[in-house]
Amino acid sequence: MCFPVGYAAVFIVPVLSCRPNEYKTNDGQCCPMCNKGRVVRKDCTVYAGTQCRFCDLGTFMNQPNGLYNCFPCTSCDTGHGLFVKQNCTATTDTVCDVLNGYYCKDLTDSNGCSLTEKHSQCAAGQRIKEPGTSRSDTVCEDCQPGFFSKDGVSCTAWKVAVPHHIICNNTGIILYTVLL
Ligand SMILES: *[C@@H]1O[C@H](CO)[C@@H](O)[C@H](O)[C@H]1NC(C)=O
Ligand SMILES: *[C@@H]1O[C@H](CO)[C@@H](O)[C@H](O)[C@H]1NC(C)=O
């Protein structure tokens, strides 16, 4: 498949720079760029425009270009807390987002994520002040004096032991207790 783009803008003498919608070939000529989703198959000549080809499956090109290869699509690594939010197309890269229990450490331009971290667990003696989200880590807070937390989730007040007498009958069976 070939897709000549416009007419060839070829200069015989190598040029320093090309116009915005043109690219410079290896031998210094200016040729019309290929559109998104395509790359150069053959540079333009005096007789013909640039020949472009579509990106193969698993590759993409998201800008007008004078490149000879499409970019490989990003894969979303579930082992690192990512899943596919939007599949790769010929003109856009894959967009990854964050699995539950992880948050994003590196957002991409397309509002996707390229790097995640697991949510932190709060330590014993702390509580979860704010649960982690897909964009932020867990916020922990120390328990106030008089409170404790064994699991690092929430703080509980210490129960103060109440002094009391235990009244038993003569076989040692507790009948009732009396607060002092
Ligand atoms: C991406 O493509 C795969 C395979 O074609 C499909 O199973 C999946 O549902 C697609 N995911 C999204 C988010 O479109
Ligand atoms: C002691 O109290 C228990 C429970 O009320 C009762 O069953 C038991 O008979 C009592 N024993 C005596 C010796 O009073």
Pocket lining for ligand 1, CB < 6 angstroms: 84, 86-87
Co-location of 131 and 102 in the same domain: no
Do residues 110 and 62 lie in contact, with contact meaning Cβ atoms separated by under 8 Å?
no
Q: How far is the CA of 167 from the centre of ligand 2 (A)?
A: 12
Distance of CA 14 to the CA centre of its chain: 43
Co-location of 126 and 176 in the same domain: yes
Report if residue 17 sits inside a domain. Answer: no
Q: How far is the CA of 179 from the centre of ligand 2 (A)?
A: 22
Pick the residue whose CA is nearest to atom 14 on ligand 2: 169
Going by the DSSP 8-state scheme, the letter that residue 5 receives in this structure is: B
Of the candidates 70, 63, 71, the residue with the CA atom closest to the CA atom of residue 21: 63
Helix (H, G, I), strand (E, B) or coil at 79: helix
Co-location of 124 and 171 in the same domain: yes
Co-location of 98 and 136 in the same domain: no
Distance of CA 140 to the CA centre of its chain: 24
Going by the DSSP 8-state scheme, the letter that residue 58 receives in this structure is: T
Considering only CA atoms, give the Rg of the chain.
34
Co-location of 66 and 88 in the same domain: no
Q: How far is the CA of 174 from the centre of ligand 2 (A)?
A: 9
Co-location of 114 and 156 in the same domain: no
Co-location of 152 and 179 in the same domain: yes
Q: Give the tokens for residue 65.
A: 């270009």
Percent of the chain with pLDDT over 90: 71
Helix (H, G, I), strand (E, B) or coil at 80: helix
Give the pLDDT confidence score for residue 8 in this predicted structure.
45
What is the domain extent for residue 150?
A: 120-180
pTM of the full structure: 0.65
Co-location of 124 and 174 in the same domain: yes
Q: Give the tokens for residue 60.
A: 């993409």
CATH number at residue 149: 2.10.50.10
Co-location of 133 and 162 in the same domain: yes
Domains in the chain: how many in total?
A: 3
Residues 27-70 pLDDT 10s: 899 999 999 999 999 999 999 999 999 999 999 999 999 999 99
Report if residue 2 sits inside a domain. Answer: no
If you average pLDDT over every residue of the chain, what do you get? 88
